[in-house]
């Protein structure tokens, strides 16, 4: 589903290199976790996947279902099935959440040559997804993310993900800011989307998310490179011993 | 240069003077009114059209813009006017009364005069009234803009308009649209006087349809909102137009009165929408909103002076401007607070969104406060579209153009929503979309 080959990227503005040769293959049906110290480049990688133009790829390539992802606009990637749950979802005053959801869902459908959703169908989907994720319809009446608490924003991201039914879900620290119950609810929401046709990349600092969303593969990212890859036990080891040993061993 | 020496008239000014000589005989007016008209054209002859060295027109040089002046429009063909009004989509199927002003003159036959009379609203032509001796009151200049050049142009040439009066205590059941329709080319100069009687309530819609060619439109709206009365005026200044579009509001508020207005600008090459708001009674409120969009090399100017001459009044001014291409936006807003106008609450905000590197916004919010116990604030911002917001929307699959549209709508909707009047403003979203699709 996703093949990242020798990806080098820098900040467009000041040319600081952030990613320094990432190789990562995620197959359909798999869940990969990416862990790593603050500032190691995890969010940068997620932004590059989503198509943010603050970053410049200087080397390497990204294939998304065989297609060159770097040639696609952010909205084309989304329509092709890429979804990023942002580490810091932003507030968009003046854009009503429901209007936004409808516009996004229909834009993707249109790009894929599908029919637009009828209003009742759309409402039904939103209500169902909202109920599963414990998102109140009141929240959805507000402008997008405006005044949402940290945890509410994260839940809203997963709500969007459930509605858009992407093929590749990249979750950037979706667990941070969630209370214990919300963590469970959100994880259930994510797990519901797990399936043979879908792949997930879960960026997190903590094992507790991976207790709920059990990964097939765990990677450690340090200074823009993947320095270790293992199974779910790697996360447990990190939780116990921290990054120092692994990073030192790689250096 | 001697400031008192007459200036050398531009072609447009010379044509205006010729136009005046030609039209003089047929323009309505008592002796006193004719004297006012003479003085007004004299001002244009001696001082010229408003230009950039006149402080109030620093950013909107009408003199430089107008390179010619068409003759005044002829009397309208009423069938054509009727057809044009029917064809114009101003407020969709909003249930409303209509008053038609065609080529500058009140068209009673096309107006809902009887239905309005049944509600307690009288409407008559200003033309006949101008022939009476005390008619000069009908052409009074704004107190805070006594020498305004656009008002002078209006006074000199005013062809007609209406005198509308809402009886005390009447709550007019539907909005009243004053449609100004141009059925042929030529200058269209209108003066509308509106009196909202004590405790009465009316919502006005002011629209301008048809094509005046190279003729300017100059319309003055003189509102008197008496004690405890309420007026909401929505002005649509839309459509492509090569000639100047000049609008003036004079609002005089009694005690415990409420006045609200929205000036929506999208399309013409040169728009000046100026408002002079005067508080004359205590515990009144004025809320003035503006939404402007300009592209190409167009200019959209929203100017206002809110004069707090008495204590205990609130005013709110909130303006939004979207600019593209090499367009220029102008906001000049001044809140005056007289020495004894204590407990004044004034809050002014102007925000511009620049869609191009070459568009320019002149924001000039000003407070002139001579009282000490007041709450007044003003703010001005001007910036490009937020790339992070745009990216978020695009990352959800929304194509760039649509994402931009959503953000422009979001930006403008803050002012539109605060204005309220949802039934009236409902159609504005579509107008914004159309404008964006064009630019
Ligand atoms: N647009 C930017 N401008 C300047 N510096 C940036 C930008 N984006 C990323 N960086 C820098 O690149 C490095 C990697 O940042 P990134 O956000 O990818 O880290 P992260 O691994 O997600 O960290 P965290 O665990 O704290 O979320 C950091 O040093 C960060 O400051
Ligand atoms: Mg991060």
Measure in Å the smallest separation between the Cα of B293 and chain A Cα atoms: 18
* Closest to B50 (Cα-Cα) out of B295, B263, B219, B272: B272
Q: Do B398 and A73 touch (CB under 8 A)?
A: no
Average pLDDT over chain B, rounded to an integer: 95
CA separation for the pair A198, B31 (Å, rounded): 86
A10-29 pLDDT, tens per residue?
999 998 999 999 999 999 99
CA separation for the pair B201, A168 (Å, rounded): 57
Task: Say yes or no to pLDDT of B2 above 60.
Answer: no
Least CA distance to A157: which residue of chain B? B396
User: What residues make up the domain containing A73?
Assistant: 2-250
Average pLDDT over chain A, rounded to an integer: 93
- pLDDT given for residue B3 in this prediction: 55
A200-229 pLDDT, tens per residue?
999 999 888 999 999 999 999 999 999 999
- As a residue count, chain B comes to 439
Beta bridge partners of A247: none
CA separation for the pair B374, B74 (Å, rounded): 51
B182-200 pLDDT, tens per residue?
999 999 999 999 999 999 9
Task: Please give the ipTM for the structure prediction.
Answer: 0.95
Interface of B with A in 408-437 (CB under 8 A): 409-411, 413-414
- pLDDT given for residue B156 in this prediction: 97
- pLDDT given for residue B195 in this prediction: 98
CA separation for the pair B71, B68 (Å, rounded): 10
Three-state DSSP class for A137? helix
> Please, which residues have CB within 8 angstroms of residue B384's CB and are 6 or more apart in sequence?
B353, B354, B355
B327 phi, psi to nearest 5 deg: -70, 160
Q: What is the mean pLDDT of residues A40-68?
A: 95
Please report, rounded to a whole number, the percentage of residues in chain B having pLDDT higher than 90. Answer: 95
- pLDDT given for residue B1 in this prediction: 46
* Domain count of the fold of chain A: 1
B379 phi, psi to nearest 5 deg: -150, 155
Asked if A107 reaches chain B (Cβ–Cβ under 8 Å), the answer is yes
A224-236 pLDDT, tens per residue?
999 999 999 998 8
Set of chain B residues whose Cβ sits within 8 Å of the Cβ of A143? 410
CA separation for the pair A149, A178 (Å, rounded): 10
- Retrieve residue B374's tokens: 């007041």
Q: What is the mean pLDDT of residues B80-86?
A: 95
Q: Do A104 and B396 touch (CB under 8 A)?
A: yes
CATH number at residue A56: 3.40.50.300
Q: Do B394 and A103 touch (CB under 8 A)?
A: no
Q: Which residues line ligand 1 (CB under 6 A)?
A: A 11, 18, 36, 38-44, 54, 87
Q: Do B398 and A143 touch (CB under 8 A)?
A: no
Nearest-CA residue for ligand 1 atom 7 is A11
**Residue B198 CB neighbours (<10 A):** 17
Task: Say yes or no to pLDDT of A242 above 90.
Answer: no
Asked if A52 reaches chain B (Cβ–Cβ under 8 Å), the answer is yes
- pLDDT given for residue B5 in this prediction: 67
Q: Do B400 and A73 touch (CB under 8 A)?
A: yes
B410-433 pLDDT, tens per residue?
999 999 999 999 999 999 999 999
* Closest to A40 (Cα-Cα) out of A232, A231, A220: A220
Query: Is B378 in contact with B367 (CB distance < 8 Å)?
Result: yes
DSSP state of A64: E
Task: Say yes or no to pLDDT of A180 above 70.
Answer: yes
Nearest to A75 among B388, B394, B409 (CB): B394
Nearest to A103 among B395, B398, B413 (CB): B398
Asked if B407 reaches chain A (Cβ–Cβ under 8 Å), the answer is yes
CA separation for the pair A104, B394 (Å, rounded): 9
Query: Is B437 in contact with B293 (CB distance < 8 Å)?
Result: no
Q: What is the mean pLDDT of residues B196-214?
A: 95
């Amino acid at each position: 589903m996703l093949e990242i080959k020798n990806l080098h990227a820098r900040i467009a503005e000041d040319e600081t290199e952030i990613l320094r040769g990432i190789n990562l293959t995620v197959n359909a049906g798999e869940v990969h976790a990416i862990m790593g110290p603050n500032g190691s480049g995890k969010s940068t990688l997620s932004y590059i996947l989503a198509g943010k133009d603050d970053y410049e790829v200087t080397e390497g390539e990204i294939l998304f279902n065989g297609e060159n992802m770097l040639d696609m606009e952010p909205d084309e990637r989304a329509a092709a099935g890429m979804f990023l749950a942002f580490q810091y979802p932003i507030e968009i005053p003046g854009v009503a959440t429901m209007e936004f959801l409808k516009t996004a869902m229909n834009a993707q459908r249109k790009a894929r040559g599908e029919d637009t959703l009828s209003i009742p169908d759309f409402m039904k989907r939103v209500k169902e997804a909202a109920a599963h994720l414990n998102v109140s319809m009141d929240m959805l009446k507000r402008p997008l993310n405006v005044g949402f608490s940290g945890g509410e924003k994260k839940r809203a991201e997963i709500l969007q993900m459930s509605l858009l039914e992407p093929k590749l879900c990249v979750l950037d620290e979706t667990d941070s800011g969630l209370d214990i119950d919300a963590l469970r609810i959100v994880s259930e929401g994510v797990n519901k989307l797990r399936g043979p046709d879908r792949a997930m990349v879960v960026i997190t600092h903590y094992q507790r998310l991976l207790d709920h969303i059990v990964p097939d593969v765990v990677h450690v990212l340090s200074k823009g490179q993947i320095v270790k890859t293992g199974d779910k036990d790697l996360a447990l080891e990190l939780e116990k011993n921290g990054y120092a040993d692994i990073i030192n061993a790689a250096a | 240069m001697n400031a008192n020496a007459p200036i050398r008239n531009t072609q447009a000014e010379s044509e205006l003077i010729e136009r005046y000589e030609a039209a003089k005989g047929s323009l309505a007016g008592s002796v006193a009114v004719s004297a006012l008209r003479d003085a007004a054209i004299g001002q244009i002859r001696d001082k010229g059209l408003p230009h950039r060295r006149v402080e109030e027109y620093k950013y909107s040089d009408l003199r430089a813009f107008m390179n010619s002046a068409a003759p005044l429009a002829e009397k309208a063909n009423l069938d054509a006017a009727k057809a044009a009004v029917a064809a114009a989509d101003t407020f969709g199927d909003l249930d409303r009364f209509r008053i038609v002003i065609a080529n500058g003159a009140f068209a009673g036959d096309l107006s809902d005069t009887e239905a309005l009379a049944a509600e307690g609203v009288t409407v008559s032509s200003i033309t006949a009234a101008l022939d009476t001796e005390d008619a000069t009151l009908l052409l009074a200049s704004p107190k805070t803009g006594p020498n305004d050049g656009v008002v002078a142009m209006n006074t000199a040439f005013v062809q007609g308009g209406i005198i509308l009066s809402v009886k005390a205590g009447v709550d007019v059941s539907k909005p009243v649209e004053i449609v100004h329709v141009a059925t042929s080319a030529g200058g269209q100069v209108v003066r509308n006087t509106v009196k909202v009687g004590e405790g009465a309530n009316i919502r006005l819609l002011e629209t301008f349809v048809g094509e005046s060619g190279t003729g300017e439109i100059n319309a003055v709206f003189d509102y008197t909102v008496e004690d405890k009365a309420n007026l909401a005026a929505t002005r649509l200044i839309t459509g492509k137009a090569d000639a100047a579009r000049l609008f003036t509001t004079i609002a005089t508020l009694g005690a415990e009165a409420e006045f609200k207005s929205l000036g929506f600008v999208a399309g013409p090459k040169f728009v000046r929408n100026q408002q002079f708001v005067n508080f004359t009674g205590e515990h009144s409120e004025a809320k003035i909103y503006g939404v402007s969009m300009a592209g190409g090399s167009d200019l959209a100017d929203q100017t206002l002076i809110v004069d707090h001459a008495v204590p205990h009044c609130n005013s709110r001014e909130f303006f939004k401007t979207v600019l593209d291409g090499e367009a220029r936006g102008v906001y000049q807003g001044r809140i005056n607070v007289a020495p004894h106008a204590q407990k004044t609450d004034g809050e002014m905000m102007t925000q511009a969104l620049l869609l191009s590197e070459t568009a320019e916004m002149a924001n000039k919010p000003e407070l002139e406060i001579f009282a000490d116990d007041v709450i007044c604030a003003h703010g001005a911002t001007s910036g490009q579209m937020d790339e992070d917001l745009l990216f978020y929307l695009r990352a959800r699959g929304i194509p760039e153009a649509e994402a931009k549209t959503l953000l422009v709508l979001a930006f403008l909707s803050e002012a539109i929503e605060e204005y309220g009047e949802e039934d009236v403003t409902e159609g504005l979203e579509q107008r914004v979309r159309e404008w964006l699709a064009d630019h």
